[in-house]
Amino acid sequence: MIAVRCSDLTKDFGRTRALYDINLEVEEGSFLALLGPSGCGKTTLLRLIAGFEAPDQGAIEVAGRTVAGPGVFVPPEKRQTGIVFQDYALFPHLDVSRNIAFGLPKGANHQNRIAEMLSLVGLKGYERRMPHQLSGGEQQRVALARALAPHPTVLLLDEPFSNLDADLRSRIRAEVKGILACAGATVIFVTHDQEEALYMGDRVGVMNAGRMEQIDTPEAIFYRPASPFVAQFIGVADFIQGVVQNGDVVTEVGRAPLDRKLPPGEKVRVMLRPGAVDIVPAADGDGVITERIFQGSEYLYRVQLPSGASIRSLQQYSCCYPANTRVRVTARFDSGLVYFSSNGAGPKG
């Protein structure tokens, strides 16, 4: 079943357009990560789904019911969407158990549900604590418990880990993923951290300047990016020119078969990941190492090609070459050839 569906969503703030024709579907029980640089519109999209903003065009469905669209606007309190903000937004005047009970129907006995939520997030015995007595990680788990307690159709997380220190973040991330999986929750979360998106998301939506560039599995996003922006935003990518010849694309670092027919002589931009570029020192090599960056277990080399293009290559720490070494450069296309049209518009491949 589809928990959330957005169709052709558009949102303007004054004269600036924050979102252009956003389409997405989230399966019940799955995680969607919305990834993009700050100002790309991902938080706005989240706020539209929650009902804190109204779209200018398009429609939003939650659990099959239209909650926003032409002539329809369901206020946030009637949408059954839980939300966890970056700063957690715990009610400072209420203790942990009252925070968790806040969204539960009035009058009923909530002790069981509160106990259930507290054991889910591992905070048994914290019922009477006030928010200011909790650490950042504990506050976050209370915020999660509060959002999950009323059984929301979808849980929305806005940059949930950006307030935590780096070493705490990876631990909390794993914990939260476990808690949410255990609760069987449907989750949409917003982040600007690609590592976080790839780790948490069953699917990742990459956004840029108000547009959804691609929604796909983390693997597909990495290996088959739909646009140069996605290629460069997820991992490291360089682009060099290739020319179509006899059904292949020929570049100065190797050739690879095309998966579709293109007119011979057409120029394309070919994506190269540093991990798929090999260099071997050779006196007659075409490339010259211009920079060596030590990264612990690996070296990242910057290599200048005869055409003037600069690409990067990742080598094991045992392959240590000084700058200005001449090298033979070869690219491997075994995980698929990714290329875009030369003018940068419209992805191919």
Partner 1 sequence: MGRGGQSSRPPVVIWLPAAVVALAISLPIAYLALRASGAGGEVWDLFFRTRTLAILGRTVALVVAVTAVSAAISLPLAWLTTRTDLPWRKTWSVLTALPLVVPSYVLGFAVVAALGPRGVLQQALGSLFGLERLPEIYGFPGALLAITAVAYPYILLTVQASLRGLDPCVEEVSRSLGHGQWDTFRRVVLPQLRPALAAGSLLVALYALRDFGAVSLLRYETFTWAIYLQYQTSFDRMLAAALSLVLVAIAIVILIAEARTRGGGRYHRSAAGVSRTPAISCLGRWRWPALAFCSLVVLFALAMPVGVIGYWMVRGVAAGESLQAAWMPALNSAYVSALAAAATALAAVPVVFMDVRFPGLISRLLERATYIGFALPGIVIALALVFFGANYALFLYQTLGMLVFAYAVLFLPQAVGPMRASLLQVSPRLEEVARSLGRSPARVLAAVTLPLLRPGILAGAALVFLTTMKELPATLLLSPIGFKTLAVSIWSTTSEAFFARAAFPALLLILLSSVPMAFLVNRERKGRS
Binding site for partner 1 (CB under 8 A): 13, 18, 39, 43-44, 47, 50-54, 75-83, 85, 87, 89, 91-93, 102-103, 146-147, 150, 152
β pairing state of 203-208 and 211-216: antiparallel
- In the bound state with partner 1, the residue whose beta carbon lies nearer, of 18 and 22, is 18
Q: Closest approach of Cβ 44 to partner 1, in Å? A: 6
The partner residues of 235 in beta bridges, in order of sequence, read none
- In the bound state with partner 1, the residue whose beta carbon lies nearer, of 52 and 317, is 52
Residue (of 150, 98, 92, 100) closest to 121 by Cα position: 100
Q: Residue 21: left (phi > 0), alpha (psi -120 to 50), or beta?
A: left
The torsion of the CA quartet 190, 191, 196, 202, rounded to 10 degrees, works out to 30
Q: Closest approach of Cβ 184 to partner 1, in Å? A: 19
Residue 149: count of CB within 10 angstroms of its CB: 22
- In the bound state with partner 1, the residue whose beta carbon lies nearer, of 53 and 196, is 53
- In the bound state with partner 1, the residue whose beta carbon lies nearer, of 138 and 158, is 158
Q: Closest approach of Cβ 10 to partner 1, in Å? A: 14
Give phi and psi for 40, each to the nearest 5.
Answer: -85, -10
Q: Closest approach of Cβ 331 to partner 1, in Å? A: 41
Q: Closest approach of Cβ 215 to partner 1, in Å? A: 22
- In the bound state with partner 1, the residue whose beta carbon lies nearer, of 211 and 255, is 211
285: tokens are: 């090599």
